[in-house]
A and B are shown apart, each in its own frame.
Chain A
């Protein structure tokens, strides 16, 4: 009996571990949200910042540093200069949800002791509405943080936020719907849903820059198998300029 009490006491002392991160199951097209591919001048510093945000170091399958969150894996490529941060580009920012915003922001501000004021290199800015804040990583990737009190995990991926010229907004939404099987979200205009993430589109009054070369270089989708590619609309059949370019060889792997 004494042993049992001892074991139960020890079990109560051990905190429950965070939920294991994983990608969402694919949709009927065979796709789900996959990764965010980042570049950074100092990728170790960038990786520490993403780990401080709540990511976990995952299996190393490539030359990138993989940091997993529920719904997405952040891949930090080899250290190289970036042209700018994500803000001002087509993908202005990405968003995560946390159960307690104030607690999360306090954690991300870093340690502040009498001998050292240390931070994780994260720049924290207030949001424009309650339950919202913005965090920018050392390399310049802007993250919107939203509070979701019902959330059970410490942090989960929420959406990719595109800023696009008004004249091309509808065209872009159609493209992501037809190509990747994204579906409109009821009650949320200009928002599409993919397994693992939402794709939010906002009109931009100023032209937005291409993402390539910036800290958030591109996003990636996870596919079930190679047959998914056969089902994708082919460039000659699909409408619009958006399907004009297919290339298979990545410049940096």
Chain B
């Protein structure tokens, strides 16, 4: 995300994958979701729990 001062009196914020607000499948791959243990989807635990 970047915030751009347009020099005329406002800011234009540029953010990727804002379609995720409407549909989470449109989220960027880097926007992962973690479980309660802090693991990403598909990630195996580093130690038995």
Contacts and interface: CB of A to CB of B under 8 A. Distances in A.
Interface of A: 20-23, 31, 34-35, 37, 58-59, 61, 66, 68, 73, 89-91, 162, 164, 168, 172, 175-176, 179-180, 208-212, 217-226, 228-229, 232, 240-250
Contacts of B11: 211-212, 217-218
B15 A223 contact: yes
Interface string B1-40: 1111111111111111111111110011001000000000
Contact of A20 (B1, B2, B6, B22): B22
A242 B21 contact: no
A162 B7 CA distance: 13
A175 B15 contact: no
B22 A222 contact: no
Contact of B16 (A176, A225, A244, A247): A225
Given A218-B13, A250-B13, A90 B18 contact: no
Nearest to A73: B21
B8 to A, nearest CB: 5
Closest 3 CB pairs of A and B: A245-B5, A242-B7, A220-B13
A219 B12 CA distance: 6
Given A90-B9, A180-B12, 6 more contacts: A22-B23, A37-B13, A219-B13, A222-B19, A248-B3, A250-B1
Contacts of A180: 12
Nearest to A216: B10
B24 to A, nearest CB: 6
Contacts of B5: 244-247
Contacts of B14: 31, 34, 220-221, 223, 228-229
Nearest to A68: B22
A229 B3 CA distance: 11
A164 B7 CA distance: 12
Given A229-B2, A247-B5, A250-B3, A211 B10 contact: yes
Contact of B8 (A164, A212, A226, A228): A164
A240 B18 contact: no
Given A245-B4, A247-B5, A58 B21 contact: yes
Given A73-B21, A246-B5, A247-B3, A90 B12 contact: no
Given A59-B24, A61-B21, A241 B7 contact: yes
B33 to A, nearest CB: 10
B6 A226 contact: no
A164 B15 CA distance: 25
Contacts of B3: 218, 247-250
Contact of A220 (B8, B12, B22, B24): B12
